[in-house]
Amino acid sequence: MNDNPRQERFKELLEKAEFYILNQKYSEAVKILKQAIATDDESPHAHYLYALALEGSNEQEKAKQHFRRVLELDPEHAEAKTHLDRLIGE
């Protein structure tokens, strides 16, 4: 993303989503992260946070899809691997 205001907005959305996740407000984080991903669909971190928030909201199927997306974008993403393994095994 070269567009600075968009980049700024994206960063803000991720920070806000992290805040919600860390306060166990997973469904609030899900709403924010939908917007973040609409802004940039290629960010492994955004997909990771989205998957995490979905898992936190007990939306396991959607969480798996986004952990998979993280691994497409970053095959070495250790946290995504761990979560996906656990969810598939459940």
Partner 1 sequence: MPKIFAVIGLGTFGSAVALELARRGYEVFACDRDPDKIEELGSELANAVELDATDEKSLQDAGLDEVDTALVSFGDSIADSLLVTMLLKGLGVKEVVVKVADERHARLVKRIGADRVIFPERDMAIRLVENILSPDIFDFIELSEEYSLVEIAARKKMLGRKLADLHLRKRFGVNVIAIRSKVPVVNKKGVPDIEEKINIAPGAEDEIREGDTLVILGRDQDIERVKKL
Give percent helix, percent strand, percent coil of the chain, each to the nearest 5: 80, 0, 20
CB of 58 to partner 1, least distance (A): 4
Which among 1-9, 21-29, 34-42, 66-74 is the span making contact with partner 1, rule CB under 8 A? 21-29
Give the C-alpha separation, 61 to 17, whole Å: 20
Q: Of 9, 16, 39, 56, which one interacts with partner 1 (CB under 8 A)?
A: 56
Residues that bind partner 1 (CB under 8 A): 18, 21-27, 48-49, 52, 55-58, 60-61, 79, 83, 90
